[in-house]
Chain A
Amino acid sequence: MKDDEIDEVLQRASGIPHEVEPALLKRVANSIHPSLRPVRPLPPTRVLTAGLILICAAVALVGAARTGFYGIEKLSLWERVLIFSTLSILAWMAGKELVAEFIPGSRHRFSPHALLTFASVALLGVFALLFRNYRSDHFISAGIACLLSGLLVAIPAAFLSWLLLRRGFAVNPVSAGLVGGALAGISGLTMLELQCVNFQALHVLVWHTAVVPVSAAAGALVGWALRRRS
Chain B
Amino acid sequence: MARYQAGDFAAATALIECVGPQLHRFFLAQFVSRADADDLLQETWLRIHRVRHTYRPGEPVLPWFYAIARRVRVDHYRKASRTTAREHSLAEMSQVAAREDGQAADDLETLLAPLSESQREVIRMMKVAGMSLEEVARATSCSVGAVKQRVHRAYESLRARASAPGPKKGPGGGQS
Residues of A within 8 A of B (CB): 1-3, 5-21, 24-25, 27-29, 31-33, 35-42, 44, 100-111, 167-169, 171-172, 175, 227, 230
User: CB distance B45 to A32 under 8 Å?
Assistant: yes
Is A105 a contact partner of B172 (Cβ separation < 8 A)? no
Are A108 and B56 within 8 A (Cβ)?
no
Is the C-beta of B66 less than 8 angstroms from some C-beta in chain A?
A: yes
Residue pair B45, A28 in contact (C-beta under 8 Å): yes
CB distance from B165 to the nearest CB of A (A): 14
User: Which residues of A sit under 8 angstroms from B53, Cβ to Cβ?
Assistant: 39-42, 167
B59 A105 Cβ-Cβ under 8 A: yes
Asked if B13 and A29 sit within 8 Å, CB to CB, the answer is: yes
* C-alpha gap A108/B143 in the complex (Å): 6
How many inter-chain residue pairs (CB < 8 Å) link A and B? 168
Q: Shortest distance in angstroms between A155's beta carbon and chain B's nearest beta carbon?
A: 26
B33 partner residues in chain A, CB cutoff 8 A: none
A25-B20, A105-B55 provided; 17 other pairs, C-beta below 8 A? A1-B158, A6-B158, A8-B171, A9-B104, A9-B107, A18-B24, A20-B21, A25-B16, A25-B17, A28-B20, A29-B9, A41-B53, A103-B56, A104-B51, A105-B139, A169-B50, A169-B54
Asked if A37 meets B171 with Cβ closer than 8 Å, knowing A14-B128, A105-B139, the reply is: no
Are A175 and B111 neighbours in the complex by a CB distance under 8 Å?
no
Question: Which residues in A have their C-beta under 8 angstroms from that of B78?
Answer: 227
Give complex CA distance A102, B67 in Å: 11
9 nearest interchain CB pairs?
A1-B162, A105-B64, A105-B63, A10-B127, A104-B67, A13-B108, A9-B171, A39-B53, A169-B51
A42 contacts across to B, CB distance below 8 A: 53-54, 56
Q: Are B68 and A104 in contact (CB under 8 A)?
A: yes
How close is B61's CB to chain A, nearest CB, in angstroms? 8
Chain B interface residue count, Cβ-Cβ cutoff 8 angstroms: 70
Report the minimal beta-carbon distance from B109 to chain A, rounded to whole angstroms: 9
| Distance to closest chain B CB from A180 (angstroms) | 15
B32-72: CB near A (< 8 Å → 1, else 0) gives 00000010011001100111111111011111111110110
- Tell me the interface secondary structure of chain A in the complex: loop
Of A15, A19, A41, A175, which contacts B141 at CB under 8 A? Answer: A175
Chain B residue contacts of A175, Cβ below 8 A: 141
Q: State the CA gap A100–B142 with chains docked (Å).
A: 11
**Other-chain contact of B171, A5, A21, A29, A36 (Cβ < 8 Å):** A5
B16 pairs with A29, CB closer than 8 A = yes
Which one of B41, B56, B60, B102 has the highest number of Cβ atoms from chain A below 10 Å of its Cβ? B56
B159 within 8 A of A: yes
In the complex, are the beta carbons of A38 and B68 less than 8 A apart? no
Determine if B138 is an interface residue (Cβ-Cβ < 8 Å). Answer: yes
From the candidates A19, A28, A111, name the one contacting B16 in the complex (CB within 8 A). Answer: A28
Residues of chain B lying within 8 A (CB to CB) of residue A6: 111, 155, 158-159, 171
- Does B30 touch A at the CB level, under 8 Å? no
Is B85 at the interface (CB under 8 A from chain A)? no
- Could you say which residues of chain A place their CB within 8 Å of the CB of B139? 105
Of A19, A44, A171, chain B has the most CB atoms within 10 Å of the CB of: A171
Closest to B159 in A: A1
Q: How far is the CA of A142 from the CA of B80 in the complex (A)?
A: 48
Tell me the minimal C-beta distance from A112 to chain B in angstroms: 9
Chain A to chain B contacts (Cβ below 8 Å), 14 pairs: A3-B155, A12-B104, A15-B104, A16-B102, A18-B22, A24-B42, A28-B16, A32-B46, A36-B12, A39-B53, A41-B56, A104-B68, A107-B138, A227-B78
Q: Which of B17, B49, B70 is in CB contact (< 8 Å) with A32?
A: B49
Q: Which residues of chain A are near B65, meaning CB under 8 Å?
A: 105
A108 to B57, CA, bound (A): 18
